[in-house]
């Protein structure tokens, strides 16, 4: 076969293979775009688990009419302009390909209005060349992205979709994780026209606590140890399941500069700190690490849910120490007796998410 350039749609569909695994991946990319655009309110409407419709509406800064076509093209982004930018990423997006990928495997329309424009415009890409049509529309400031018939033209991928209920659960679970980290944002999630979740913005400590309880359960929120630690440019904040709370939970959420990531390092540090007190089960946690973006490489995985620390041993030891000191400050260390209870018989707080990374201490030691 002769070597030929791929038509844009096919190139985008190949890229979509890595990024758009299922409806929840589309929701992730679109909500992250809304947050990058400074939205304070994000509405997510899902029909049939997302295979029929995913609609994200935000009140962010919007996209100017003459940039709509670019927004739908591959390798087009407002977030990175140079290698220096790429080495100091604080936005969720930086690859400039999510919209192009999603629109190559669905019928996507993008409607947007900026504060400067008096009217809104709508764009959609068609055909193998993905030419973009732009037409006038009605929309307040912000953007709405509508993704209809996901994978209609990639039947192999469509066949991998699970039931509507399962796909919706993946969306709901992902939204929980982002809603904890961004308690300042109002999120509303509907499924088949019915409001399923409403996360109101939390502006006070009590409201933040309420959001934590809404997502991780009352027991977790009431008993969790709060973590707040800063040292030499690293800061760790969040919550750690109390050693006195022996209910099994799948709450193990770790964020690096606001990005939800999978990382064995934090699991290992948490487990090690608990093991020092004779507890061998894995406690739940919601931990947010902030550090100089130059110290972490976010360009590691196409779906952007892995990072690489320049000094992973140092980061590990910092997290370990933060957790050790939270444990030491507990008023009574009565938990070692309780940990001998029959933990395995207790129901988890919520369905186990198969995306949660399992700890693998031996492999981690090699990595560090």
Ligand X SMILES: Nc1ncnc2c1ncn2[C@@H]1O[C@H](COP(=O)(O)OP(=O)(O)OP(=O)(O)O)[C@@H](O)[C@H]1O
Q: Does 60 bind ligand X (CB under 6 A)?
A: yes
- Minimum CB separation of residue 61 from ligand X in Å reads 6
Q: By CB under 5 A, which span of 26-34, 172-180, 322-330, 358-366 interacts with Mg ion?
A: 26-34
Q: Which stretch binds Mg ion (CB under 5 A): 27-35, 187-195, 221-229, 288-296?
A: 27-35
Tell me: does residue 286 bind ligand X (CB under 6 A).
Answer: no
Q: What are the tokens at 207?
A: 């409201």
- Compute CA 315 distance to the chain's CA centroid, rounded to the nearest angstrom: 21
Count Cβ atoms within 10 A of the Cβ of residue 84 and give its class: 0-12 exposed, 13-18 middle, 19 or more buried: exposed
Give me the 87-126 binding string for ligand X, x by CB under 6 A, dash otherwise.
------xxxxxxxx--------------------------
Q: What is the nearest approach in angstroms of ligand X to the Cβ of residue 147? A: 12
Q: Which does 60 bind (CB under 5 to 8 A by kind): ligand X, Mg ion, none?
A: ligand X
Evaluated on CA atoms 38, 43, 48, 53, the torsion sign reads negative
The closest alpha carbon to 17, from 355, 302, 354, belongs to: 302
Taking CB under 5 A as the binding criterion, the range among 25-33, 45-53, 246-254, 349-357 that sits at the site for Mg ion is 25-33
Candidate residues 26, 69, 70, 98; the one interacting with Mg ion per rule CB under 5 A? 98
143 binds, among ligand X, Mg ion, none (CB under 5 to 8 A by kind): ligand X
Q: Which two tokens stand for residue 10?
A: 């096919």
Query: Tokens 């992205």 map to which residue?
Result: 145
Nearer to ligand X among residue 120 and residue 327 (C-beta): 120
Which H/E stretch holds residue 275?
helix 264-275
Nearer to ligand X, 51 or 111 (CB): 111
- 298 scored as a contact of ligand X (CB under 6 A): no
Looking at residues 4 to 33 of the shown chain, list those that interact with ligand X (rule: CB under 6 A): 29, 33
Rule CB under 6 A: which of 159-218 touch ligand X? none
Question: How many residues can be counted in the chain?
Answer: 368
Distance CA 189, CA 45 (A): 6
Q: What's the min distance (Å) between Cβ of 132 and ligand X?
A: 12
Q: Where are the alpha helices (DSSP H) in 123-163?
A: 155-159
**Secondary structure of 321-332 as H, E, C letters:** HHHHHHHHCCCC
Cβ atoms of 172 and 353 closer than 8 Å:
no
Q: What is the helix (H) or strand (E) element at residue 361, kind and residue range? A: helix 361-367
Q: Which of 223, 14, 231, 200 is nearest to 104 (CA)?
A: 14
Identify which of residues 56 and 322 has a Cβ nearer to Mg ion in the complex: 56
Q: Using CB atoms, what's the residue nearest to ligand X?
A: 93
Q: Does the footprint of Mg ion cover residue 298 (CB under 5 A)?
A: no
Q: Which of 9, 25, 103, 143 binds ligand X (CB under 6 A)?
A: 143
DSSP letter for 277, please. T
Count interface residues toward ligand X (CB under 6 A). 23
Residues 70-89 that bind ligand X (CB under 6 A): 71, 76-79
Among 23, 49, 62, 93, binds Mg ion (CB under 5 A): 93
Tell me the chain's radius of gyration from C-alpha atoms: 22
Buried-state track 156-177, b at ≥16 Cβ within 10 A, e below 16: ebeeebeebeebbbbbbbbbbb
Q: Which residues contact 85 (CB under 8 A, 6 or more apart)?
A: 79, 94
For Mg ion, which residue of 9, 13, 25, 33 counts as binding (CB under 5 A)? 33
Nearer to ligand X, 72 or 240 (CB): 72
Q: Which residues pair with 41 in a beta bridge?
A: 186
Region near Mg ion per CB under 5 A, out of 29-37, 116-124, 253-261, 307-315: 29-37
Q: Residue with structure tokens 């993704």?
A: 147
Q: Does 103 bind Mg ion (CB under 5 A)?
A: no
**CB of 96 vs ligand X, minimal distance in Å:** 5
Coil/strand/helix, residue 269: helix
The footprint of Mg ion (CB under 5 A) covers 33, 93, 98
Residues in the site for ligand X, rule: CB under 6 A?
A: 29, 33-34, 37, 58, 60-63, 71, 76-79, 93-100, 143
């Amino acid at each position: 076969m002769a070597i030929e350039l791929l038509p844009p749609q096919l190139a985008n569909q190949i890229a979509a293979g890595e990024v758009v695994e299922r409806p929840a991946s589309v929701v992730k990319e679109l909500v992250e775009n809304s947050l990058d655009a400074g939205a304070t309110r994000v509405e997510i409407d899902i029909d049939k688990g997302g295979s029929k419709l995913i609609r994200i509406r935000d009140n962010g800064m919007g996209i100017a009419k003459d940039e709509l076509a670019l927004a739908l093209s591959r390798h087009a982004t407002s977030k990175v302009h140079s290698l220096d930018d790429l080495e100091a990423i604080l936005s969720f997006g930086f690859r400039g390909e999510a919209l192009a990928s999603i629109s190559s495997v669905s019928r996507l329309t993008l409607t947007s209005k900026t504060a400067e424009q008096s009217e809104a415009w709508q764009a959609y890409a068609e055909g193998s060349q993905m030419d973009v049509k732009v037409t006038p529309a009605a929309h307040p400031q912000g953007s709405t992205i509508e993704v209809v018939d996901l994978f209609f033209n990639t039947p192999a991928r469509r066949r991998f979709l699970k039931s509507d209920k399962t796909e919706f659960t993946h969306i709901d679970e992902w939204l929980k994780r982002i809603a904890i980290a961004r308690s300042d944002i109002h999120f509303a999630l509907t499924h088949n026209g019915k409001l399923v979740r409403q996360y109101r913005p939390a502006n006070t400590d009590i409201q933040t606590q309420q959001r934590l309880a809404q997502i991780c359960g009352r027991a977790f929120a009431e008993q969790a140890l709060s973590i707040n630690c800063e040292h030499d440019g690293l800061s760790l904040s969040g919550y750690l399941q109390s050693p006195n709370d022996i209910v099994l939970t799948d709450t193990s959420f770790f964020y690096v500069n606001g990005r939800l990531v999978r990382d064995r390092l934090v699991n290992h540090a948490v487990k090690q700190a608990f093991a020092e007190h004779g507890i061998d089960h894995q406690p739940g946690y919601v931990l947010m690490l902030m550090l100089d973006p130059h110290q972490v490489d976010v360009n590691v995985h196409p779906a952007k849910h892995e990072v690489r620390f320049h000094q992973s041993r140092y980061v590990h030891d910092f997290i370990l120490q933060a957790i050790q000191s939270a444990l030491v400050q507990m008023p009574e260390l009565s938990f070692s007796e309780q940990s001998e209870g029959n933990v395995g018989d207790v129901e988890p707080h919520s369905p186990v998410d198969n995306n949660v990374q399992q700890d693998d201490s031996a492999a981690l030691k090699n990595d560090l």
